Amino acid sequence: MRVDVHAHYFPASYIDALARFGQPGARGAVARAGPAATLSLDERLALLDQVGIDVQVLSVAAAMPYLPDEQQAVAAARLANDWYADTCARYPSRFAAFACLPLPHVAAAIAEAERALAAPGCVGVTVGCSVAGRQLDDPLFEPLWAALDQRAAVVFLHPMGTGVGPALQDYGLRWMLGAPVEDAAAALRLILAGVTVRYPHVRVIVPHLGGVLGFLVQRLDDEAQREAVEGVGPRITDPPSAHLRRLWYDTVNLQPSALRCACDALGGDRLLLGTDFPYLAGAKLERAVRYLDEAGLEPGVVAAIAGENARALLGLTG
């Protein structure tokens, strides 16, 4: 069984609601995904059959319901999550979902997580790499992490296209380079701030092979040790690499050498197939699946990455 943990679907009613509530970039997120974003579910299933994907886990990408008005944020989140629940109920063997949360309204987000996680096919929640200008290790979010820890919830991170600084605002760098930088920074902040230690039952998936994390494992360990000696280092005792190997990472990258690096640095048991569909469509969708077989990994490792790891993590059957 092949399981795609990084895929998006944008219910029209949800995007319309975000636009109506003044969410900047809601329609742009869909437009950037191209024509494949408007395919019906049956048309999407035909594509998945062509490339050999059995189950796809849907989420809202950067089109999060992060609105200043709490009632509007809750209404939007419920709209998306109800649509996903209905879809998973209609296609129980083909689709699952990561629920979105009405952040930065923490109490409302906890309530919506409880509601959504009880719905058919909901296997976790998705959270932006930052929320309305706040980083995920912000003390504001401690109650949310505590609630997710109690449920041993899976949390799928996703870049927001923000917070990468002026150097990445031109030439398309905001997504080209900024997205994987967001991934890496969000994951490291959760680790270095001790969030993953305080809430060890939360199971975090970092997209895009963790951004630059696999490539920088040794540097991260060396620098964390130096910073600790100087008294300004991380709030953890083990090296960052030990904590990185307790997270999970999807394979959205398409470069075999990068996959080998991540497998070696982070562990093949921590990698999960991802396609980023519909942002990667057509030949890129096919390559997102095929490149697992082109990286020179052992067949057992490829099988684990393609589906076995996700089945175990998400509790999928079939």
- pLDDT tens string 174-223: 889 999 999 999 999 999 999 999 999 999 999 999 999 999 999 999 98
Which whole number is the average pLDDT over 63-88?
98
The answer to whether residue 219 sits within a structural domain is no
Beta-strand pair 271-272/248-250 = parallel
> Is the residue at 236 inside a domain?
no
DSSP code, position 172: T
Per-residue pLDDT at 292 = 98
The answer to the question of residue 120 being in a domain is yes
Asked if residue 252 is part of any domain, the answer here is yes
Instruction: Please say whether the beta carbons of 248 and 272 come within 8 A.
Output: yes
What's the pTM?
Answer: 0.96
For residue 225, being part of any structural domain is answered with no
Q: What pLDDT, on the 0 to 100 scale, is given for residue 226?
A: 75
Looking at the domain assignment, is residue 54 inside a domain? yes
Q: Domain residues for 79?
A: 3-212+248-314
User: Is residue 75 one of the residues assigned to a domain?
Assistant: yes
Asked if residue 318 has pLDDT above 70, the reply is: no
Query: Mean pLDDT, to the nearest integer, of 147-173?
Result: 90
Could you read off the pLDDT of 117-158 as tens digits, one per residue? 999 899 999 999 999 999 999 999 999 999 999 999 999 999
| Overall residue count recorded for the chain in this entry | 318
Residue 234: per-residue pLDDT: 65
Which CATH number fits the domain that encloses residue 30?
Answer: 3.20.20.140
Mean pLDDT across the chain:
94
Given a contact cutoff of 8 angstroms between Cβ atoms, the answer to whether 274 and 291 are in contact is no
60-74, 102-116, 218-232, 240-254: which range is least confident on average?
A: 218-232
How far, in Å, CA of 242 to CA of 149, rounded?
20
Domain assignment of residue 231, yes or no: no
Give the DSSP H/E element, type plus range, for residue 128. strand 122-128
Domain count, the chain: 1
Q: Render pLDDT for 214-258 as a digit per residue (tens, 0 to 9).
A: 999 999 999 887 766 555 556 778 899 999 999 999 999 999 999
